[in-house]
């Protein structure tokens, strides 16, 4: 059996807790050791909560954590614009890295990360969890087993409730956008489904409601992306849905080909509920859910956790003598993330210029 993988987590916020849960759960199975985590230190009460819940040191200087702890891998769950420096430093120390999406907010930064990882033999994975959704796996199969034929066009929307930029991370929402925070998920999913890269992008965006709340970012971004062979997909992204909406996010994808179409409502999987306590709700139980195992322990299930656990699977494969080349195409990696960032970058260039941006 492979040695337990020693992991540190940089970023312990809204999504960092998912990483901590996965690695703690894998620790219970002897697969990982959750060694330490690190935050910015701006929320000492939350740091204490994480210490209490996970029983690990919470550093407030990520370099100090890397200096002091003996680690095999780190995961990076910090604001989008901070990933680059942390990932390169980790790779230069020979650590394997899982980075939250987007890998970086510049293609030059993504390229620098990819190069640093290659130079150091570090395994780099990016958490594009949409690829792990069982319904998206079926969509990808239909795109590639001939069921849909040649995909001609498609439509995607991904819209968060306003609570996300307004209340969850108002201090850094102005440094990201609906394209960077939401769009990248589906830019990656579409290119993974159709196995084609983006060629041209035209995008528009609106700044209104969040700007009025002193958060300088787009409320919504609409991007028309053309892929090799002429496939054209429209991506609507936004994060100003009202607080009264029945879930945190509203999302779906529809692809239409020469032989048929497939559509996945990624939010409403069929259960609707209304209660005096919660109001009207829909549930995407495929994403993240807590269950109890037969011993009464809480276990975390769903593709939102499985995509993080896949990093552990891949590191075990490497420990057992497999190579990074053998894993090629079997996980979302740095080259995928670079292509995705090129699309998001082009989206913003197109909004700024009012013109079509050509990528290849």
Ligand X SMILES: NC(=O)c1ccc[n+]([C@@H]2O[C@H](COP(=O)([O-])OP(=O)(O)OC[C@H]3O[C@@H](n4cnc5c(N)ncnc54)[C@H](O)[C@@H]3O)[C@@H](O)[C@H]2O)c1
Shortest separation between residue 202's beta carbon and ligand X, angstroms: 24
Could you tell me the smallest distance in angstroms from the CB atom of residue 308 to ligand X?
9
- The DSSP call for residue 333 is B
Q: Binding residues for ligand X, per CB under 6 A? A: 10-16, 38-40, 42, 62, 77-80, 82, 100-101, 127, 129, 168-169, 181
Choice between 151 and 223, CB closer to ligand X:
223
Look at residues 120, 108, 109 and name the one whose alpha carbon lies nearest to residue 73.
120
| Dihedral over alpha carbons 244, 245, 249, 255 (to 10 degrees) | -160
Whether the CB-CB separation of 107 and 344 falls below 8 Å is answered with no
Supply the minimum distance, in Å, between the C-beta of residue 348 and ligand X: 16
10 vs 143, which CB is nearer to ligand X? 10
Closer to ligand X by CB, 62 or 239: give it: 62
Least separation, in Å, of the C-beta of 83 and ligand X? 6
Considering the complex, state which of residue 178 and residue 257 has its C-beta at the smaller distance from ligand X. Answer: 178
- Taking the least distance from each CB to ligand X, the nearer of 55 and 354 is 55
With helix as H, strand as E and coil as C, how does 3-39 read? CCEEEEEECCCCCHHHHHHHHHHHHHCCCEEEEEEEC
> Are the C-beta atoms of residues 3 and 68 closer than 8 Å to each other?
no
State the minimum distance, in angstroms, from the CB of residue 28 to ligand X.
23
Residue 15, both tokens: 């999504």
Q: What angle do CA 133, 186, 110 make, to 5 degrees?
A: 110
């Amino acid at each position: 059996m492979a040695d337990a993988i020693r992991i540190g987590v940089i970023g312990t916020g809204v999504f960092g807790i998912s990483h901590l849960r996965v690695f703690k759960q894998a620790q219970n199975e002897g697969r990982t050791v959750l060694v330490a985590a690190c935050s910015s230190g701006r929320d000492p009460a939350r740091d204490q909560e994480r210490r209490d819940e996970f029983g690990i040191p919470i550093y407030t200087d990520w370099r100090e954590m890397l200096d002091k702890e003996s680690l095999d891998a780190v995961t990076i769950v910090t604001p989008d614009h901070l990933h680059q420096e942390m990932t390169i430093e980790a790779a230069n120390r020979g650590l394997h890295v899982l980075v939250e999406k987007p890998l970086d907010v510049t293609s030059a930064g993504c390229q620098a990360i990819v190069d640093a990882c290659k130079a150091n033999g570090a395994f780099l994975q990016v958490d594009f969890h949409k690829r792990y959704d069982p319904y998206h796996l079926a969509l990808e199969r239909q795109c590639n087993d001939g069921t849909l034929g040649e995909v001609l066009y498609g439509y995607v929307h991904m819209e968060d409730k306003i609570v996300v930029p307004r209340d969850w991370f108002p201090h850094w929402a102005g440094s990201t956008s609906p394209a960077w925070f939401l769009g990248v998920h589906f830019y990656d999913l579409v290119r993974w489904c159709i196995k084609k890269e983006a060629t041209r992008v035209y995008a528009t965006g609106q700044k209104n409601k969040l700007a009025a709340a002193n958060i300088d970012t787009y409320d919504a971004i609409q991007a028309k992306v053309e892929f090799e062979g002429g496939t054209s997909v429209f991506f609507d992204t936004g994060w100003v849905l009202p607080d009264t909406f029945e879930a945190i996010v509203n999302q779906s994808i529809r692809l239409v080909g020469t032989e048929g179409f497939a559509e996945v409502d990624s939010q409403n999987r069929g259960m609707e509920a209304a209660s005096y306590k919660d109001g009207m709700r829909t549930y995407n139980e495929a994403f993240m859910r807590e269950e109890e195992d037969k011993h009464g322990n809480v276990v975390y299930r769903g593709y939102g956790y499985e995509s993080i656990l896949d990093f552990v699977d891949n590191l075990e494969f490497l420990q057992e003598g497999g190579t990074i080349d053998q894993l090629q195409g079997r996980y979302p990696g740095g080259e995928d993330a670079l292509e995705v960032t090129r699309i998001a970058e082009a989206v913003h260039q197109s909004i700024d210029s009012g013109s079509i941006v050509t990528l290849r």
